[in-house]
């Protein structure tokens, strides 16, 4: 059974930091591209950051320079280090897995992802 389980969300003040984790199982983690997506109430789900099977990363312009995506294939775990958090970062954050053959330029598109976690809430507020 495929599972993606996010953790690490919570309430943080603007300017603070948070690290999200996604534990994966039930598929060959190392062969999949992985991504973090987020959705705020009333808004479309958007790609935040992706990392392919070769470790190459893509970031949304809104988080570039503040967020870092990484993966530990030995632990089947995906991470998102978030720094200098802003109120507009408030959202439910989801991790997802896409087939390794997914074209790099399409990795921020939600429709390309095969497996999804249930999400972890991140709230940035003073």
Please list the helix, strand and coil fractions of the chain in percent, rounded to the nearest 5, in that order. 10, 45, 45
26-65 pLDDT per residue, tens? 999 999 999 999 999 999 999 999 999 999 999 999 999 9
Q: Nearest 5°: phi and psi at 106?
A: -105, 0
**Summary mean pLDDT of the chain:** 96
pLDDT value, residue 94:
98
pLDDT value, residue 105:
84
62-111 pLDDT per residue, tens? 999 999 999 999 999 999 999 999 999 999 999 999 998 888 888 888 88
d(CA 55, CA 47): 17
Measured distance between the N- and C-terminal CA atoms of the chain, rounded to whole angstroms: 40
């Amino acid at each position: 059974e495929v599972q993606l389980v996010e953790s690490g969300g919570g309430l943080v003040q603007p300017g603070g930091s948070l690290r999200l984790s996604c534990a994966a199982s039930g598929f060959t983690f190392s062969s999949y591209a992985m991504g973090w997506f987020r959705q705020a109430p009333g808004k479309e789900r958007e790609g935040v950051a992706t990392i392919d099977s070769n470790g190459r990363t893509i970031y949304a312009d809104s988080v570039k320079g503040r967020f870092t995506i990484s993966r530990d294939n030995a632990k089947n775990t995906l991470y998102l280090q978030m720094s200098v958090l802003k109120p507009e970062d408030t959202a439910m954050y989801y991790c997802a897995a896409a087939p390794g053959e997914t074209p790099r330029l399409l990795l921020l598109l939600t429709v390309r992802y095969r497996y999804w976690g249930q999400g972890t809430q991140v709230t940035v507020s003073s």
